[in-house]
């Protein structure tokens, strides 16, 4: 790959359909670790709208053995080949092109294309991995039916899987065998999957609404066969929910999931054969936390829901990625809300959006949910495309209601089943099915950045009228990225409720969704007896930053009384953030810190409120993250923020010590572990309370933490205790870390937790600890989970990663340079931790910029990292 090719941008405006379409694909794999022979026969027909008879097939890292057209072998002067493609000229209107190539799965460390993991064969083809398997039109608008023949040694590959239905299998002699798979539904190449090796199956069934029985198979390495039941139940629940809520039924005879250890992503929705990172499949109480269980259920659901929103209807080009991902994230969020608590789920989602996507929206990687250009498509599997994309879909749901949204989705499938389409097609279906005009909604797809919503209020006692003036604006962004200039007002559905200022009772007749279509508009509420308290942006009905002047007393009132759970939580977060930011300034100015009485009393009311469930209470009692607080500072001061937040935590732990201790003991489980929702909620609150107690460093509390660690019968409690011990200067720390490792060293996913706990430690020797752990016998640079558990977790450690001497920044840059050649996707995700460097003080900026330049100057730097680094340096 030349340097010019490595940084060549692709533009949405340049989209052209291919010169030829591919209708049918036959693939044959003779599997071998070093030399897998791939034979591909593709039936092509010329695109009637194109005049050319030339076809350029993408291909990378392939050893071409032969090419033929309609059975006639081509000589070397009848085609042209480069590091990126195979080009054929003067093709007939229709023909069958056959190629044979050799690929080396064992040496493929990118985890893209066909590779080996734990001795098993696996593929990952999204976004452009299929070109590492054979020469092809590796683009999502080319949809074909596939027949796949797999051949391998019976001892090393007793199991061989691919998309669709198994239609034949036979013994070949010489200890080899063959399996044939056929997928009757047209699909793009990114949905192709192949898995082969020594695997065991956990089986189940599901009977669809129309009465068909679907075989469910979860394939794992033999030692993990006892960890699959939760994944199976999650799949069955997902299938039932999609039928009940959206009327969508599964369409094949078999649905398979395979768990692999080495995987760049969370999971992949390949038609009928989902390949998963083992983190999102395997679970037992003693090895998986409550969060792991919930994530497994959510990710299983997400990939299953893709069968319709992504597979049956797919993207015309990769710029439309949010068409499938944003929509499917919204669907999995709704699913989880129905399985657990809608309020808690919404708070978790909004919290994640603010912590991750809002940062992205204000930095060098700011882009619309439908980007205008890219150098490496792998860099645009972002929080913006996924999380913000889901919020855009949610706004349709808010404006249309569940019934109107369902009508729009039904029309979308009716029009576009088995097609590759655009975001505009989805928007048109929603509009046409409900006789609405969503033309201005296009701005959400083409503009980058997070709008700010300014709200002011006015009370007219003479007229008994209360009015809210809503005004929207985009903050300025540097860098000149597409979608960041000349931005126009976007449609904003703003859900509002009014509360009686004395009782806190909801004035139901005045609750509504205000539709802001222009830059500014005033909405009036009449017939009120007294000035109410306004609860604005309920349920986070639009992805904006709310700017509304509130007194501490008013925020405390909403924290105690708001009937919208998200806004009640958010009032507490807003009050805490306001006070913490002032305290951070006081730290810088040398002013003595004090705990606000308003906040102390509001905190006490939440603590003592028995009307809310424990999960909500845990969220409401948790202070805003330092990374979120930093977004509100002109210049982020991580040291002052940490000092202020730790002061608040310590004072709250001191003031409410007796209440926390009583609550902890009341929440401690009696009897054996349970994973019902009530037990999960109780553990969540118990461990938040234990965190506050830990700030006191008393012998009583340390003994309590040690006791929880030693006696825990579940990973949730054990990991929570270990995380607290990891921050302490006590012999209990080293003893607990050693005991944890000795107990779980055989389980890779649990050892990931062991690495992550230490990477998150805020002790003064944290950076040295991370460096030492990179030399540990169980640290593997080729395993993305292990790298993320140590280096990825370290970048979230606000105290140590942003250490003033820059040692954290140097550490990250060192390892990005070690990883980028073998696994560009992983390295690019790590280096993105530098994206917000312009928000810090001049000294930190200079250090990070120096590290970015060091990376940029690295010879042969991969295009994934190059794109991220150059955008950061240009910001």
Q: Which residues are catalytic?
A: 303
Q: Among 742, 744, 745, 704, which Cα is nearest to 725's?
A: 704
Q: Tell me the Cα Rg of the chain.
A: 28
Mind giving me the DSSP string for 8-43? Answer: --EEGGG----SEEEEEEEEEEE--SS-EEEEEEEE
Helix (H) or strand (E) holding 176: strand 176-187
Asked if 534 and 492 touch (Cβ cutoff 8 Å), the reply is: no
Q: How many CA atoms are closer than 13 Å to the CA of 383, on its beta-carbon side?
A: 22
Helix (H) or strand (E) holding 806: none
Asked if 460 and 467 touch (Cβ cutoff 8 Å), the reply is: yes
Distance, CA of 807 to chain centre: 28
Tell me the C-alpha distance between 152 and 175, whole Å: 9
Asked if 495 and 513 touch (Cβ cutoff 8 Å), the reply is: yes
Mind giving me the DSSP string for 61-95? Answer: S-EEEEEEETTEEPPGGGEEE-SSEEEE-S--SEE
- In 10 A of CB 515, how many CB atoms? 14
Asked if 275 and 122 touch (Cβ cutoff 8 Å), the reply is: yes
Tokens 């019976």 belong to: 154
Contacts for 462 with CB less than 8 Å, ≥ 6 apart? none
Question: 65-74: long-range contacts (C-beta < 8 A, 24 or more apart)?
Answer: 65/37, 65/99, 65/100, 65/101, 65/102, 66/98, 66/99, 66/100, 67/97, 67/98, 67/99, 68/97, 68/98, 68/99, 69/95, 69/96, 69/97, 69/98, 70/95, 70/96, 71/96, 71/98
Tokens 């049918």 belong to: 24
3-class SS at 713?
A: coil
Tokens, residue 801: 């990663």
Asked if 237 and 397 touch (Cβ cutoff 8 Å), the reply is: no
Q: Among 252, 245, 239, 241, which Cα is nearest to 191's?
A: 252
Tell me the C-alpha distance between 183 and 167, whole Å: 10
Tell me the C-alpha distance between 292 and 279, whole Å: 8
Asked if 69 and 146 touch (Cβ cutoff 8 Å), the reply is: no
Tokens, residue 459: 């009370």
Asked if 808 and 767 touch (Cβ cutoff 8 Å), the reply is: yes
Between β-strands 213-220 and 254-260, what pairing exists: parallel, antiparallel or unpaired?
parallel
Helix (H) or strand (E) holding 442: helix 442-446
**Residue 669 DSSP label:** P
Tokens, residue 259: 């768990």
Asked if 289 and 226 touch (Cβ cutoff 8 Å), the reply is: no
Q: Among 108, 117, 109, which Cα is nearest to 258's?
A: 117
Asked if 641 and 629 touch (Cβ cutoff 8 Å), the reply is: yes
């Amino acid at each position: 790959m030349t340097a010019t090719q490595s940084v060549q941008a692709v533009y949405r405006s340049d989209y052209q359909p291919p010169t030829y379409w591919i209708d049918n694909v036959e693939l044959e794999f003779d599997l071998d670790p070093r030399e897998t022979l791939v034979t591909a026969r593709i039936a092509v027909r010329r695109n009637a709208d194109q005049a050319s008879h030339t076809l350029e097939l993408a291909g990378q890292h392939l050893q071409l053995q032969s090419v033929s057209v309609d059975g006639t072998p081509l000589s070397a002067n009848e085609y042209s080949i480069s590091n990126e493609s195979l080009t054929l000229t003067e093709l007939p209107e229709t023909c069958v092109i056959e190629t044979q190539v050799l690929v080396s799965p064992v040496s493929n460390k990118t985890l893209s294309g066909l590779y080996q993991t734990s001795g098993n064969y696996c593929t990952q083809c999204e976004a452009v991995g299929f070109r590492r398997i054979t020469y092809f039109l590796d683009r999502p608008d080319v949809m074909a039916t596939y027949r796949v023949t797999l051949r391998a040694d019976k001892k090393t590959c007793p199991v061989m899987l691919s998309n669709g239905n198994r239609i034949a299998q036979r013994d070949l002699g010489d200890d080899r065998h063959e399996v044939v798979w056929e997928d009757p539904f047209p699909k793009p190449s990114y949905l192709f999957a192949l898995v082969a090796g020594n695997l065991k199956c956990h089986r189940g069934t599901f009977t669809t609404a129309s009465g068909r029985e679907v075989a469910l198979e979860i394939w794992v390495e033999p030692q993990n066969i006892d960890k699959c039941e939760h994944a199976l139940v999650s799949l069955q629940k997902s299938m039932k929910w999609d039928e009940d809520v959206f009327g969508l039924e599964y369409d094949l005879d078999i649905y398979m999931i395979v768990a692999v250890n080495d995987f760049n992503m969370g999971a992949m929705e390949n038609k009928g054969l989902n390949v998963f990172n083992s983190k999102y499949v395997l679970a037992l109480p003693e090895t998986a936390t409550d969060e792991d269980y919930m994530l497994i259920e959510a990710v299983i659901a997400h990939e299953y829901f893709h069968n319709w929103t992504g597979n049956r209807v797919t993207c015309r080009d990769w710029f439309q990625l949010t068409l499938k991902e944003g929509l499917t994230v919204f669907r999995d969020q709704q699913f989880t809300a129905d399985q657990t608590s809608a309020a808690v789920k919404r708070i978790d989602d909004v919290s994640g959006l603010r912590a991750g996507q809002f940062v992205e929206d204000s930095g060098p990687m700011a882009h619309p949910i439908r980007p205008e250009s890219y150098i490496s498509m792998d860099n645009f599997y972002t929080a913006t495309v996924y999380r913000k994309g889901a919020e855009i879909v949610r706004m349709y749901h808010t404006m249309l209601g569940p019934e109107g949204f369902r009508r729009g989705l039904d029309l979308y499938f009716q029009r576009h089943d088995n097609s590759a389409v655009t975001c505009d097609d989805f928007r048109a279906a929603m509009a046409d099915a409900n006789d609405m005009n969503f033309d201005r909604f296009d701005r959400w797809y083409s503009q980058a950045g997070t709008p700010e919503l300014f709200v002011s209020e006015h009370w007219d006692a003479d007229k008994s009228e209360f009015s809210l003036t809503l005004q929207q604006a985009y903050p300025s962004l540097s860098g000149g990225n597409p979608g960041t200039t000349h931005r126009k007002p976007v449609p904003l559905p703003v859900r509002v409720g009014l509360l009686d200022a004395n009782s806190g009772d909801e004035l139901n007749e005045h609750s509504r969704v205000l539709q802001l279509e222009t830059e500014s508009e005033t909405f009036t509420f009449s017939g009120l007896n007294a000035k109410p308290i306004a609860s604005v942006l309920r349920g986070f009905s639009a992805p904006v930053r709310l700017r509304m002047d509130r007194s501490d007393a008013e925020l405390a009132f909403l924290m105690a009384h708001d009937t919208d759970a998200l806004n009640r939580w958010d009032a507490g977060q807003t009050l805490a953030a306001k006070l913490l930011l002032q305290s951070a300034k006081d730290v810088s100015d040398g002013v003595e810190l004090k705990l606000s009485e308003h906040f102390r009393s509001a905190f006490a009311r939440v603590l003592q409120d028995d009307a809310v469930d424990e999960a909500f209470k845990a969220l409401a009692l948790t202070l805003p993250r330092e990374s979120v607080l930093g977004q509100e500072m002109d210049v982020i001061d991580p040291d002052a923020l940490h000092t202020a937040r730790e002061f608040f935590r310590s004072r709250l732990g001191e003031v409410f010590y007796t209440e926390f201790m009583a609550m902890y003991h009341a929440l401690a489980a009696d009897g054996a572990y349970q994973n019902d929702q009530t037990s999960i909620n109780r553990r969540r609150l118990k461990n938040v309370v234990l965190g506050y107690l830990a700030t006191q460093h008393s012998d009583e509390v340390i003994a309590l933490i040690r006791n929880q660690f030693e006696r825990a019968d579940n990973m949730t409690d054990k990991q929570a205790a270990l995380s607290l011990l990891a921050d302490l200067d006590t012999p209990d720390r080293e003893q607990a870390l050693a005991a944890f490792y000795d107990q779980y060293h055989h389980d890779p996913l649990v050892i990931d937790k062991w690495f992550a706990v230490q990477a998150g430690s805020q002790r003064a020797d944290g950076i040295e600890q991370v460096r030492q752990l990179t030399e540990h016998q169980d640290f593997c640079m080729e395993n993305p989970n292990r790298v993320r558990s140590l280096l990825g977790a370290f970048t979230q450690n606000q105290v140590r990663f942003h250490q003033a001497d820059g040692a954290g920044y140097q550490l990250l840059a060192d390892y990005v340079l070690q990883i980028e050649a073998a696994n560009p996707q992983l390295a690019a995700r790590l280096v993105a931790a530098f994206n917000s460097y312009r928000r810090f003080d001049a000294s930190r900026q200079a250090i990070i910029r120096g590290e970015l330049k060091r990376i940029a100057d690295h010879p042969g730097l991969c295009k994934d990292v190059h794109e991220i680094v150059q955008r950061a340096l240009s910001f």
